[in-house]
Structure 1
């Protein structure tokens, strides 16, 4: 083997992929110095990344390779950010990069556009029949932050106050019995979930977010009621005017912002969040009106306002594809 080509994505552990590729290339050393070429697909498509994300991923690979563990390698390593063509021609573009038949193409398990069948067709078309195409035995590993956070007095007090306030809101704060049971319940909740409730240390910003959330909830409920009425009109219409389409909506950068926006979209009839990409949410829309609401970006701006975050780029959703199935 003279060339080992590894197609990368931003899903999974980069270190595991680099270790596997380097190990395979080392074992193949036999008189000639093999080349390991890490390819980062960029552009639009299932496996491709936006150019800034692709460039960042290539830089991360170079950082991993610069580590002392990979120093003095008996192989030549290249990191290429290419393949900006349309999804249908990307496999052919990758096949055209192979200078020799004595090569292997390694595809990660989570790749969909670059699968062995598509690569085999592209290689046969470029007369590279002897090139080996395989899936890498590198499982997808997701590193999650710890669920339980450090115990602090501020977290404990904030959890206690939030639990007590919620309990008294449902009960009668003027009755001694409700106050007593509320104190007991809030104490139990604090002991059990005091290290789970707040991802960040509570602060004045947390109070500001809470105040804004009290305004956001009625706004969201109004949007849900309005969307329900719109869906009822569609269902009762004789021609059932639906246009099922999947669109991409710019998303907040924080995990909390993305979760809040995704769930708010799903709660609104006519739209359903189906996936989260690097910088956007993939949303199934049932009608042109629901799609127009997403394009207006009011819900996205409201979420950004609640969390006091920078708003996503002011642009309408992109339409990666359509579906004939209805019902969001």
Structure 2
């Protein structure tokens, strides 16, 4: 029950912070929106086919700042290609996955897609099919640096 209240409080605080307007109508809409999100979240996680894997706090402390840095650097690489300073060398390859659970695979696939110039096309049991605009981006993915970071944080374990 405490976690539920904490989750609701966090959502409401996020709503108020992002809106920046504190009149009764928007606060009421925020309460309604947060309640709806909680209701849908609980309904989703009550489904039998969805596991209740969790993400550890260390994931947010260590992985997110690193991912933001990678997104920024990849954005610069992709921008130089778009501007024409470098030539596009598109490639599509299957990359082996080190993840043992579905949550880790989803985080990896979404992280690849968030990084400019790369796109996750298909996630299989032990591999992921990725399209990259630059040869450097594909080399970075093949080095498994991102995959190892997610696995080392023991997401969902």
2:107 aligned to which of 251, 257, 260: 260
Match of 2:145 in 1: 298
Match of 1:279 in 2: 126
- For structure 1, list consecutive stretches of 5 or more residues without a partner in the other structure: 1-152, 311-328
CA displacement at 1:165 relative to structure 2: 0.8
2:3 aligned to which of 137, 153, 158: 158
**Structure with the higher fraction of residues in helix conformation:** 2
Distance (Å, rounded) in 2 between the aligned partners of 1:195 and 1:307: 26
Distance (Å, rounded) in 1 between the aligned partners of 2:125 and 2:39: 36
Match of 1:143 in 2: none
| C-alpha RMSD over aligned residues | 3.1
Task: Give the SS at the match of 1:242.
Answer: coil
Distance (Å, rounded) in 2 between the aligned partners of 1:286 and 1:189: 36
Q: Deviations over 1:248-270 (max 9, x none)?
A: 21222322211111111111112
Distance (Å, rounded) in 1 between the aligned partners of 2:59 and 2:68: 15
Q: Deviations over 1:65-109 (max 9, x none)?
A: xxxxxxxxxxxxxxxxxxxxxxxxxxxxxxxxxxxxxxxxxxxxx
Change (3 A) 1:184 1:284: closer
Contact 2:103/2:155 (8 A) holds in 1: no
1:215 aligns to 2:62 (yes or no): yes
Contact 1:261/1:299 (8 A) holds in 2: yes
Moved over 6 A (4+): none
Question: Looking at CA atoms only, which structure, 1 or 2, has the larger radius of gyration?
Answer: 1
Change (3 A) 1:236 1:184: closer
- For structure 2, list consecutive stretches of 5 or more residues without a partner in the other structure: none
1:194 aligns to 2:42 (yes or no): yes
Match of 1:289 in 2: 136
TM-score, scaled to structure 1: 0.38
Distance (Å, rounded) in 1 between the aligned partners of 2:114 and 2:52: 29
Distance (Å, rounded) in 2 between the aligned partners of 1:201 and 1:254: 11
CA displacement at 1:305 relative to structure 2: 3.3
Contact 2:74/2:117 (8 A) holds in 1: yes
Distance (Å, rounded) in 2 between the aligned partners of 1:275 and 1:185: 33
Q: Deviations over 1:83-139 (max 9, x none)?
A: xxxxxxxxxxxxxxxxxxxxxxxxxxxxxxxxxxxxxxxxxxxxxxxxxxxxxxxxx
Match of 1:169 in 2: 14
TM-score, scaled to structure 2: 0.72
Match of 1:269 in 2: 116
1:248 aligns to 2:90 (yes or no): no
